[in-house]
């Protein structure tokens, strides 16, 4: 994928995520790995529902800006960590929904999802008769340290699902391309919302 196509995919994903209420204010960030290996990513401080291609920039595989004076998202290193770890990842989306924020604040080290039809959107089985444990990590403003925690987690669980939660902060999901990543995000957000509603009704 070339930069113009990557930027267009990022703009469209931002509009979709905004329409769902998953990127309030300037929250969230979105990226695509180009065919060159460079990463197209949202600039810092942009509203994802109002993105233009000019608000998408390039970084290298280590997160360094390739555009003088341009500042990428603060969490760019987390995108780079995903691309470095998972060679098939072509796009990463990060959002802040009510469901993922509330549930991650209540959870321990993971949220277990089972019996949902939309689990088929994640690796692990062709039917709903499976279970997925979505990791939950404590929030940390030291992004390199948070990435080291993720690397340690992935070393222990190489078959972990393509998504994780940061406590009280948001969710990261990735896929082979932007369409795949957004579809996985929609599936996960639906299941998290169901999980939240089930907990409310059980009280």
Q: Cα-Cα-Cα-Cα dihedral of 94, 143, 68, 58, to 10°?
A: -30
128 known member of a binding site: no
Neighbours of 164 (CB within 10 A): 22
- Give Cβ neighbours of residue 39 (< 8 Å, ≥ 6 apart): 31, 32, 33, 58, 59, 60, 61, 63, 76, 79, 80, 83
Residues making up the annotated binding site are: 94, 96
Residues making up the annotated binding site for Zn(2+) are: 94, 96
């Amino acid at each position: 994928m070339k930069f113009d196509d990557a930027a267009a995919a990022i703009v469209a994903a931002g509009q979709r995520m905004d329409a769902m209420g998953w990127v309030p204010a300037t929250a969230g960030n979105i990226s695509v790995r180009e065919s060159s290996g460079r990463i197209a990513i949202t600039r810092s401080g942009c509203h994802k529902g109002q993105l233009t291609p000019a608000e998408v920039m390039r970084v290298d595989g280590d997160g360094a800006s390739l555009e003088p004076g341009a500042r990428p998202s603060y969490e760019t290193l987390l995108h780079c960590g995903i691309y470095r770890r998972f060679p098939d990842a072509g796009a990463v989306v990060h959002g802040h929904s009510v469901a993922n924020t509330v549930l991650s604040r209540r959870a321990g080290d993971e949220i277990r999802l089972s019996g949902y039809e939309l689990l088929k959107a994640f690796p692990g089985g062709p039917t709903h008769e499976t279970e997925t444990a979505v990791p939950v990590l404590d929030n940390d403003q030291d992004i390199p340290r948070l990435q080291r925690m993720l690397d340690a987690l992935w070393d222990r669980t190489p078959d972990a699902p393509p998504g994780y939660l940061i406590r009280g902060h948001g969710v990261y999901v990735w896929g082979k391309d932007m369409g795949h990543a957004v579809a996985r995000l929609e599936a996960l957000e639906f299941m998290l919302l169901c999980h939240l509603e089930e907990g409310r009704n059980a009280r």
